[in-house]
Amino acid sequence: MLQRVLDTVTALPLGQIILVFGDVYSKPKTLPGTVEMVHNRDYRSGMGGSIAAGAAHIDKDLDAAFIVLGDMPFVPGEMYSRLADALAPDVTIARPLSPSGPGHPVLFRRTHFGRLRELSGDMGAGTIVRAAGATLAMVDTSDAACFFDVDTPDALAIAESGRWKQT
């Protein structure tokens, strides 16, 4: 699953790719040379700590960064391009949106990096997104890949069968 995510993002013209991992058993054995590994020692605390660990390593020259979830293996490269295109001078966050709600990945401008580095616990970056107000661009999509994550054995079975496209 993670390999599929990595195959997608390493094919994109990104300035930096950071992979945050938790326990040593989740650390990939091999990675493309363009991927920087960051160990989140506090991985048990939740997604916020992982985002903070990754954000602490973002190159100072980058203007924006995607938060990409390793359990969402079907997000197409085209979605990353559409989100990047949505960033305008007055837009600081871009996120996919379907009639059923918001999805992933989420793209953040540099103005949010400090707050991303301060996250902890299992809250993720939702508070930052909700506070963005008019600087948030929601990119309409019906692509199920932006909303399907593989969190359970049932979801894994759906992913392996290809039925995820119907969820």
The pLDDT value given to residue 122: 85
pLDDT at 135 over 70: yes
Phi, psi for residue 50 in degrees, rounded to 5: -70, -40
pLDDT in the model for residue 14: 92
Q: Would you state the pLDDT for residue 29? A: 67
SS3 percent helix, strand, coil of the chain, rounded to 5, is 40, 20, 40
Tell me the pTM: 0.91
How far from the centroid of its chain's Cα atoms is residue 138's Cα? 15
- Give the model's confidence band at 2: pLDDT under 50 very low, under 70 low, under 90 confident, else very high: confident
Which residues, in sequence order, are CB contacts of 7 under 8 Å at separation 6+?
none
Look at the block and give the residue holding tokens 């916020």: 48
User: What is the spatial distance between Cα 63 and Cα 150, in angstroms, rounded to a whole number?
Assistant: 30
Q: Give the domains, in start order, of the chain with CATH numbers.
A: 2-166 (3.90.550.10)
- Tell me what pLDDT residue 164 has: 74
Phi first, then psi, for residue 147 (nearest 5°) are -130, -5
Could you read off the pLDDT of 10-67 as tens digits, one per residue? 999 999 999 998 876 566 666 777 899 898 988 888 899 999 999 999 999 999 999 9
